[in-house]
Chain A
Amino acid sequence: MPTFEIDGKKITVEQGKTVLEAARDNGIEIPYFCFHESFKSGGLCRMCLVEIEKMPKLQTACTTVATEGMVVKTTTDRVRQARSAILEFILTNHPLDCPDCDQAGECVLQEYAHRYGPDRSAFTEPKQLREHIALSELIAYDPERCIMCERCVRYYRDIVGSEELAVMYRGAHAEITTFPGKLLTYGYVGNIADLCPVGALTTSDFRFKERVFNLRATETVCPLCEAGCLIYADAKLYTVYRVRSRNPMVRSIHAHENRNVTSFYPKPYIDAISRSSYICDDGRLGYKKLLNDNHRAIPAGPDNRLASGNNDWSSIIAFVAQKIKQSGAKTAGIISPFATNEEAYAFMYMIKHAAGGSAIGMLRFPEAKEYVSAGKLRLRRGMQAPNANGIGQIAKAFDIRLLSHDEVIGSGPAFLYILGPSFDQMDPLVDRLGAIPCVVAQDFRPSRLTERAHIVMPGMSYAQKDGTYTNGEGRVQRLRKVVRTEGEARDDLSILSDIIAGITGKRIGGFDQVLGTLMKEVPSFASIDFDGLTGDVGLRKAAGRLW
């Protein structure tokens, strides 16, 4: 444990930590472009130069290992001049058209040019104009904006392991390329746009769509497979514009604060964050599949068979509650693994305790496949739905054996409640629903099922509600409301809770109250810390592991 000094501050760090990491962990800012926690330092950008006593030249903080008795200075005139000169050099061919560039607002170079940059350039020569190159269908590369930090190249070498990117040519002509005539393999391409500190790599998905300073980032969970990657969903009003990984580097710079994620959390959570530094392309583009632009104007479907003819929420909830009461033990339910833990609890409470039924099934979604077969990076796991593990654990606590949706329909129920979203998974079975006298579907997206069901209640998509998901590892993670809701759709949990109140007269409460009940009643939730869930990482306790 060497002890050394930065700017007059005595710091003790772990053996082998670099000066840059040590400074960052202790709230001293050293600017950098190329350093990233997950790769080996390259010392490529020269931005992190610091003065170290008894060393004649300035040293790169990202490659210098902290040793006993070292004296580091980051605020001397020499360092300041070096930073300014490096920025001037980087900006010789970098276009100064920030309004033109998609990165403006979250650009590290823009930020540093303001803080440390020179106000003029000695170069009077015209800047190079260079054409865009498509590195894949998802990524556009702009060589004139590139600062050659090689984060993307090192990501492909060290993290993905497929070495698909390389630097070609030298000096001012240098550029990032793939093998001639080849594009990057779909799978983990989008991450290089997150890694890029400038606007050189942009995703075609988000390119020109919206300015980043108009977007609000919400910390939430990717719902597309059981891995449950932690993501940021960037949204404005009713629309999600993009999904990013919760890359700790990118975030600490975006926050425009001199703080570091790693210093806030103990070790297990850091592992969880760094595991979530990257997301797959399906997760990155998947928000489109889950966006809710098809809200119905009225809660009920057009052919809802209500005797009174009223299609407003209160009559429909009263009708459904009355039907469940009549059906009693012949009430059955099918739950989608997209339902949150709280909804699953309310649903099972409704079927088992309020109605007395026991036939509860879970929809099965296809398995998530890995795209890059040769690579090291493997994120996609389990079913292509987020919460199968959590629903299984809650069913166990209720003493319910989860059936398949086939078996539930086969058991001949008098009343079938399908808690969506079902994403067309129910479609092959819709024709078999004919024998059931009353089918209720709660979904946010029209499908064959919602056309066929007797009562349709519009719920919300994952981007519109609060809740928790339990991923395949057993981590309980927080799902947050990202966008506002249009139309008359209602939060799924509040619909269920109103129906339960209609049957039993007892209210089960909102998200936080149900989560409190879960902590008391379901063993695998017992050790969850509620404050932990409201924090950034949103997880505690790995229980009921699948892998």
Chain B
Amino acid sequence: MTTGDRNKRYGLREAVYLIEIVRGLGVTIRHFFRRRKFAMNYPEEKLSIVGNTKQIIKTMDKDAQRLSERPEIVMNARGKHKLLFDGDLIRCVACKMCETVCPFFAIYIEPEESRDPRKERAPKVFELDLTRCAYCGYCVEACPENAITMTSDYSLIAKQRPELVLQKETLKRVIE
């Protein structure tokens, strides 16, 4: 039935509203007894991380229902960033490629002399403003040293905005 078709003449079933009301309620009642749960007790419960997008697309045909059954997040989703450290030394050379490429001006870098003999410079300050970031991943692509990556950590919870401006120390992930 098209909406707003004023010239259409309705039959008896439509004219008596009661039948349609009962039909509508039927849908509601069916979902009530089916008890499929979508809401979660976030942040105590979190989305479970499954495979990556490629695997999921492969299995999608067989198991088309699976995605709607339980909320999930894929492993290669773009979440909070990490700066990689080789042991004690940061990989970043403060070349400002990410700062330059960032479309949202979310990154701020101040270079200094590096302690690493193989490198000339290192970041004295590395600030990443998550309130500005749109998780486009350009910084990861631009990085010549593979010093920045994105994790699947999607939860950005903070009591105050400054907490979402991440510093070098809070972004640290040590690679052994």
- Residue from the list A98, A100, A129, A214 in contact with B121, Cβ < 8 A: A100
Taking the nearest CB of chain B, how far is it from the CB of A100, in angstroms?
5
Contact A99 B93 (CB under 8 A): yes
Contact B119 A100 (CB under 8 A): yes
1/0 per residue, CB under 8 A from A, across B87-120: the answer is: 0000001111100100000000001110001111
Taking the nearest CB of chain B, how far is it from the CB of A22, in angstroms?
39
Contact A208 B94 (CB under 8 A): yes
Contact B121 A208 (CB under 8 A): yes
Is residue A119 within 8 Å, beta carbon to beta carbon, of the partner chain? no
Known: A97-B119, A99-B145. A208 touches B111 (CB 8 A): yes
Taking the nearest CB of chain B, how far is it from the CB of A118, in angstroms?
20
Contact A100 B120 (CB under 8 A): yes
* A97–B117 CA distance with the chains assembled, in angstroms: 13
Is residue A448 within 8 Å, beta carbon to beta carbon, of the partner chain? no
Contact B100 A99 (CB under 8 A): no
- B121 contacts across to A, CB distance below 8 A: 100, 208
* A101–B114 CA distance with the chains assembled, in angstroms: 12
Taking the nearest CB of chain A, how far is it from the CB of B142, in angstroms?
10
Quick one: which of A70-106 are within 8 Å of B by CB? 97-101, 104
Is residue A213 within 8 Å, beta carbon to beta carbon, of the partner chain? yes
**Interface of B: prevailing SS:** loop
* A99–B146 CA distance with the chains assembled, in angstroms: 12
Contact B117 A211 (CB under 8 A): no
Contact A129 B118 (CB under 8 A): yes
- Residue from the list B93, B94, B97, B100 in contact with A97, Cβ < 8 A: B93
* A398–B15 CA distance with the chains assembled, in angstroms: 99
1/0 per residue, CB under 8 A from B, across A111-137: the answer is: 000000000000000000100000000
CB nearest to B111 among chain A residues = A208
- Residue from the list A100, A129, A142 in contact with B93, Cβ < 8 A: A100
How many of chain A's residues touch chain B, expressed as a range?
Answer: 10 to 19
Taking the nearest CB of chain A, how far is it from the CB of B86, in angstroms?
15
Taking the nearest CB of chain A, how far is it from the CB of B116, in angstroms?
10
Taking the nearest CB of chain B, how far is it from the CB of A212, in angstroms?
11
- Residue from the list B94, B100, B144 in contact with A214, Cβ < 8 A: B100
Contact A97 B120 (CB under 8 A): yes
- A129 contacts across to B, CB distance below 8 A: 117-118
Contact A99 B111 (CB under 8 A): no
Contact A99 B112 (CB under 8 A): no
Quick one: which of B53-97 are within 8 Å of A by CB? 93-97
Contact A211 B95 (CB under 8 A): yes
Contact A99 B117 (CB under 8 A): no
Known: A97-B120, A129-B117. A211 touches B100 (CB 8 A): yes
Taking the nearest CB of chain A, how far is it from the CB of B130, in angstroms?
23
- B117 contacts across to A, CB distance below 8 A: 129
> Total interface residues on B, using CB and 8 Å?
16
CB nearest to B95 among chain A residues = A99
Contact A100 B100 (CB under 8 A): no
- A142 contacts across to B, CB distance below 8 A: 120
Taking the nearest CB of chain B, how far is it from the CB of A99, in angstroms?
3
- A208 contacts across to B, CB distance below 8 A: 94, 111-113, 121
* A213–B144 CA distance with the chains assembled, in angstroms: 16
Known: A97-B120, A100-B121, A129-B118. A213 touches B100 (CB 8 A): yes
Taking the nearest CB of chain B, how far is it from the CB of A364, in angstroms?
41
Known: A208-B111, A208-B112. A99 touches B118 (CB 8 A): no
- B118 contacts across to A, CB distance below 8 A: 129
1/0 per residue, CB under 8 A from A, across B131-153: the answer is: 00000000000001100000000
* A101–B94 CA distance with the chains assembled, in angstroms: 10
- A100 contacts across to B, CB distance below 8 A: 93, 95, 119-121
* A97–B97 CA distance with the chains assembled, in angstroms: 13
Taking the nearest CB of chain B, how far is it from the CB of A131, in angstroms?
9
- A99 contacts across to B, CB distance below 8 A: 93, 95, 97, 144-145
Contact A214 B119 (CB under 8 A): no
* A213–B97 CA distance with the chains assembled, in angstroms: 10
- A104 contacts across to B, CB distance below 8 A: 95
- A214 contacts across to B, CB distance below 8 A: 96, 100
- B97 contacts across to A, CB distance below 8 A: 99
Taking the nearest CB of chain B, how far is it from the CB of A102, in angstroms?
8
Taking the nearest CB of chain A, how far is it from the CB of B87, in angstroms?
18
Most buried by B among A101, A211, A214: A211
Taking the nearest CB of chain A, how far is it from the CB of B110, in angstroms?
8
CB nearest to A104 among chain B residues = B95
CB nearest to B112 among chain A residues = A208
Contact A101 B120 (CB under 8 A): yes
* A492–B126 CA distance with the chains assembled, in angstroms: 39
Quick one: which of A170-215 are within 8 Å of B by CB? 208, 211, 213-214
* A515–B93 CA distance with the chains assembled, in angstroms: 49
- A211 contacts across to B, CB distance below 8 A: 95-96, 100
* A100–B116 CA distance with the chains assembled, in angstroms: 12
Taking the nearest CB of chain B, how far is it from the CB of A299, in angstroms?
31
- A213 contacts across to B, CB distance below 8 A: 100
- B96 contacts across to A, CB distance below 8 A: 211, 214
CB nearest to A129 among chain B residues = B117
* A97–B113 CA distance with the chains assembled, in angstroms: 15
Since A100-B119, A208-B113 are in contact, a sample of 17 more A-B pairs with Cβ atoms closer than 8 Å, ordered by chain A residue number, is A97-B93, A98-B144, A99-B93, A99-B97, A99-B144, A100-B93, A100-B121, A101-B120, A129-B117, A129-B118, A142-B120, A208-B94, A208-B112, A208-B121, A211-B95, A211-B96, A213-B100
A-B contact pairs, 10 of them (CB 8 A): A97-B119, A97-B120, A100-B95, A100-B119, A129-B118, A208-B94, A208-B112, A208-B121, A213-B100, A214-B96
Binding site for B on A (CB under 8 A): 97-101, 104, 129, 142, 208, 211, 213-214
The 3 lowest CB-CB distance pairs between A and B, nearest first, are A99-B95, A208-B111, A99-B144
